[in-house]
Copies of this chain bind each other. A is one copy, B any other.
């Protein structure tokens, strides 16, 4: 069987329903092979299965044989759906980032304070992680296996998400809401805190995205404001006790 690569079409990520799974698991015999009505559904399911495997074993620890075994497909059929193993990473990244970039664009168009916008984006990040923890895990851990134009596109999409947030940070500094520090340093703290949550959900923190977002933003927004406590004394003592 000759594998013909088709265009990569990142689709907005969403959960596969039980009905869809059932439908996909039992394709009608007699339908001509090709991009029939069930193709996208089945493709989503294959990507779902691959993501679970990557999250368990790592991208480089998962072989194409593992993928054929887990999907119950032959190699040829599998490649018709996934195009290539690396393309799975592209699809996984798109399912993580596309909704987030869209929501960020939507939020940034609002006439609201930068704090309200950051709060909404914070919740979108956490909701995305809660909905698809394995996707985010793979996205975070295995993006380094992307090569060539896949890597370039990945970095461009990550930048498309991060740049508007840096801009919001700048606005907040300009409005005196955040202290006047290098805004990259502030926003890196914003990113760091949110990214680590995939692990937290795994470890069973028991909080939902809405609650976590409220707490995180409370910490960050208060923390980024001018000092409310006398931390100079803490710094002096730490300097004396440094090894």
- CB < 8 Å: which of B119, B120, B223 contacts A222? B223
Would you call the interface of chain A mostly helix, strand, loop, or mixed? Answer: helix
- Residues from chain B with a CB closer than 8 A to the CB of A217 are 231, 234
In angstroms, Cα B61 to Cα A61, docked, is 5
- Residues from chain B with a CB closer than 8 A to the CB of A58 are 58-61, 142
Say whether B192 contacts A241, CB under 8 Å: no
In angstroms, Cα B240 to Cα A107, docked, is 13
Interface size on A, residues (CB 8 A): 58
In angstroms, Cα B199 to Cα A196, docked, is 11
Residue A12 at the B interface, CB < 8 A? no
Among the stretches A20-28, A34-42, A44-52, A109-117, the one at the interface with B is A109-117
Say whether A241 contacts B185, CB under 8 Å: no
Residue A224 at the B interface, CB < 8 A? yes
A188 with B200: in contact, given A219-B220, A222-B222 (CB under 8 Å)?
Answer: yes
In angstroms, Cα B221 to Cα A220, docked, is 10
- CB < 8 Å: which of B61, B195, B234 contacts A221? B234
Say whether B238 contacts A119, CB under 8 Å: yes
In angstroms, Cα B225 to Cα A200, docked, is 23
A241 with B120: in contact, given A222-B222, A229-B221, A229-B222 (CB under 8 Å)?
Answer: yes
Residue A227 at the B interface, CB < 8 A? yes
In angstroms, Cα B243 to Cα A242, docked, is 48
In angstroms, Cα B22 to Cα A35, docked, is 60
Given contacts A188-B205, A192-B200, 8 further A-B contacts (CB under 8 A): A58-B59, A107-B241, A116-B241, A189-B215, A219-B219, A221-B223, A225-B229, A226-B228
24 contacts between A and B (CB under 8 A): A57-B60, A58-B59, A60-B60, A107-B241, A113-B234, A113-B237, A185-B205, A185-B207, A185-B215, A189-B215, A189-B216, A192-B193, A192-B196, A193-B196, A195-B196, A214-B235, A217-B231, A218-B231, A219-B219, A220-B223, A222-B222, A222-B225, A222-B227, A225-B228
